[in-house]
Structure 1
């Protein structure tokens, strides 16, 4: 895949970029290693000062960087601004909390005595250069949620961003440079996917994090495993959105539309499978479908646009094939289902029901504004339907019954359970999945410790 900015609203190539040469890759790896040796000794106060400066610059740049994201991957510009604001918030959160999250820990005194020590400390030390392989769908946020904790922990970052968002990738490198971080603290590597293994195997790279497709995750995990390097993987999801009879059905239907089509439906944590109790199925379906029909599809640079183009032509083709397969196998289309002709990679908001396990869309992630509806008879069937997926990133549950909440929290196979609300990431809460959605956690204290050397310091007499 060429490294290029291609406007998905019209398919026009705006700019092509040359991949880094082997010599330049080597120079950047050497710089990362050299910078880490000194940056790792910097204080939390100094790192926090730099990160807050980066957040302030991002606030100033919100409009311009939002338009870069929208141009490169089609995100409605209102959502792009919100993404930039969220990134600045996360940087400030880690600047405020990192020292506390990584403070030395002292085990229980009785255990210290039992070990024969006078004192024992558990200390969190940085690992070194970390390679981040990031996707295009949230081109700023996916990077910042790695970079902010990694930099505050004393690591340095190497970004291999998706090849269709090079402008955003280069902006990030420039942002940290302008904020005053030492050269080499955060570097963008404009390289193709074929060069990732060479970088990951380099002994100066100590760990890797990837957000992306399952095949990409398998590839990075395989190489990192062979090289015995730590990885964190977030590989997508097909999140259930369960609605039970005690729920506020009107609100559940209204929020369901937002939960499905945020970022034009191109979100790992978007609700994708709507599992509704038979007693409220018709009422929910009516409200949800009408909400999907009312969405405005159009130019992502226009303020009133709800649904922009999909980020890539192949992505639209993949989504369309899932819908065609479902319809040919007996699914019913309640709205959408046929893309309009014309420039750009648009696909209409689509609702499918009568979906069965034989259909591809039942088990594959639909990365776009396509929702599947399932009717269930009771709590047991709802849990079984929700877990009937190879993914387990997040889940949404709508019920006012405390017993049902307890059951869902206990039995749903997912990294998060959101009750009477839609899934959303926040810097204070751990984020990650189960099953084929990946492993490890981002954000919160769990995320910042993923790339630390957890060191036991034992003091004898």
Structure 2
């Protein structure tokens, strides 16, 4: 770890970012463990009720000042934030790698993609703040205005703390809101390290409160917060939605994924194997859109499996600050959970084709080998989010069977298909019950295209115009240039009365 980051993480330990400054937390502290070394690299403080109230009050003040600016002024400020975010990304990226383990190239990339989202939304919000409708009454002007919700609570997970916060903050701020983010207990320092990039904004417009589930629940239920963006488990998401519903707060939820990956004979299998390895093992499989269920046509099954095993065995494991492809899992609990999933699959008859164990060369750290298994669709690991470096592969005899098995899931975030048959591609696009379909291009995204899922994956959308609308409300406005009588006023005409 570089000396700059050593000092930075020490200075950030036990702090919150409230009203534009770092504030020493008053609550109890919890250590943050480097998953590559199993050593304490920082501590975070549990936000107290008083600290939460202070942050919410500061957000309300800042939001009013932010919305009072012109759209052009807000746009220019967000472009400044994007520039600063790109500059601080390497430093925050090193902090992220120390906190949750992913390779630095991935951590650093998160800052850049968040800066891109800020630039996109800065311009999109300035371009559109409502519309003029054809008037229903002569001489009048009828409008729909777009206004901010107020203070948005952003609860982000450990796997993409900067990316997901960046998506949500970019849309929220562009819409005119304030944002309070509650990071994961595994990555609290990363977002604190990022806050210097927001210094050009009114103090209190963007704040960080660290802590566990209780802090998140308090923010969601606070009477003076107005919307929630949550990424996490289905059970936690349901609790968030119930609390928010008490005050009818809009909720953006991305709760879970169990994404299928279909391979058809028309695809070039050597290329498919490379794409499959990336889709399954990126960030050690700790991606909501990871390919977690492979349905491979009989005609190419053996060739695909052989290629995927070669790719998996070629991946370099180690500290994310070294020249590696995969780092450790984010916590000991996460690795133990994945080990239990593999053990259950083997008990049910799965064949481990490679991996399936801790790497002997890395006795320290929460590492787990990228694992390929031959399975059947009925096995437990095909029916829940595995969220680890696992690639279970199942034989199918047709596209019909592949689509049917892919849709046999309670969640529906993303789905992949590799085919160079255009008819198969269009069938998959229209028949897969997911919010995202990737054809021959796994796991990509685009600031301008909506991201989200169906079923128990959640509700709402990030990115695109839909992502901006998530954090705005519409106001109907009707303007008559002068006061005139209306034909609908009293008294009603006698000829319109009930004829009986």
Name the SS for the 2:132 alignment partner. Answer: coil
What corresponds to 2:72 in structure 1?
A: 45
- Contact conserved, 1:431 with 1:443, CA < 8 A, in 2? yes
Residues 409-450 of structure 1: per-residue CA shift (max 9 Å, x gap): 111010011111112222111000001111100011100111
| Root mean square deviation of aligned Cα | 1.6
Q: Distance between the aligned counterparts of 2:463 and 2:383, measured in 1? A: 28
Q: Distance between the aligned counterparts of 2:45 and 2:67, measured in 1? A: 32
Deviation at 1:116, TM superposition (A): 6.3
Change (3 A) 1:198 1:83: closer
- Contact conserved, 2:292 with 2:382, CA < 8 A, in 1? no
Residues 1:170 and 2:197 aligned together? no
- Contact conserved, 1:20 with 1:189, CA < 8 A, in 2? yes
What corresponds to 1:314 in structure 2?
A: 333
Residues 1:147 and 2:169 aligned together? yes
What corresponds to 1:328 in structure 2?
A: 347
Q: Distance between the aligned counterparts of 1:62 and 1:38, measured in 2? A: 28
Q: Distance between the aligned counterparts of 1:20 and 1:362, measured in 2? A: 38
Change (3 A) 1:60 1:195: closer
- Contact conserved, 2:85 with 2:194, CA < 8 A, in 1? no
In terms of mean alpha carbon deviation, does 10-19 or 160-169 score higher? 10-19
What corresponds to 1:65 in structure 2?
A: 92
What corresponds to 1:339 in structure 2?
A: 358
Which 5+ residue runs of structure 2 have no aligned equivalent?
1-27, 482-500
Name the SS for the 2:278 alignment partner. Answer: helix
- Contact conserved, 2:75 with 2:126, CA < 8 A, in 1? no
Name the SS for the 2:152 alignment partner. Answer: strand
What corresponds to 1:104 in structure 2?
A: 130
- Contact conserved, 1:3 with 1:164, CA < 8 A, in 2? no
Deviation at 1:199, TM superposition (A): 2.1
Change (3 A) 1:262 1:382: same
Structure 2 matches for 1:230-241, cutoff 5 A? 230-241=250-261
Structure 2 matches for 1:414-453, cutoff 5 A? 414-453=434-473
Q: Distance between the aligned counterparts of 1:154 and 1:440, measured in 2? A: 19
What corresponds to 1:157 in structure 2?
A: 179
Paired residues, number = 452
Deviation at 1:404, TM superposition (A): 1.4
In terms of mean alpha carbon deviation, does 66-75 or 281-290 score higher? 281-290
73, 76, 86: which one aligns with 2:113: 86
What corresponds to 2:35 in structure 1?
A: 8
327, 338, 352: which one aligns with 2:373: 352
Change (3 A) 1:279 1:216: same
Deviation at 1:127, TM superposition (A): 0.6
- Contact conserved, 1:396 with 1:422, CA < 8 A, in 2? yes
Deviation at 1:81, TM superposition (A): 1.6
Compute the TM-score of the two structures, normalised by the length of structure 2.
Answer: 0.87
245, 266, 277: which one aligns with 1:225: 245
Deviation at 1:5, TM superposition (A): 2.3
Name the SS for the 1:181 alignment partner. Answer: coil
Change (3 A) 1:150 1:417: same
- Contact conserved, 1:269 with 1:424, CA < 8 A, in 2? no
470, 475, 487: which one aligns with 1:455: 475
Which 5+ residue runs of structure 1 have no aligned equivalent?
none
Deviation at 1:295, TM superposition (A): 0.6
Deviation at 1:132, TM superposition (A): 0.6
Q: Distance between the aligned counterparts of 2:311 and 2:330, measured in 1? A: 23
- Contact conserved, 1:4 with 1:166, CA < 8 A, in 2? no
201, 210, 217: which one aligns with 1:181: 201
- Contact conserved, 1:390 with 1:436, CA < 8 A, in 2? yes
Residues 1:253 and 2:273 aligned together? yes
366, 371, 377: which one aligns with 2:397: 377
Of structures 1 and 2, the one scoring higher in RCO (CA 8 A, sep 6+) is 1
Q: Distance between the aligned counterparts of 1:453 and 1:98, measured in 2? A: 13
Q: List 4+ stretches of structure 1 deviating above 4 A.
A: none
Q: Distance between the aligned counterparts of 1:406 and 1:280, measured in 2? A: 21
262, 265, 270: which one aligns with 1:242: 262
Residues 1:22 and 2:49 aligned together? yes
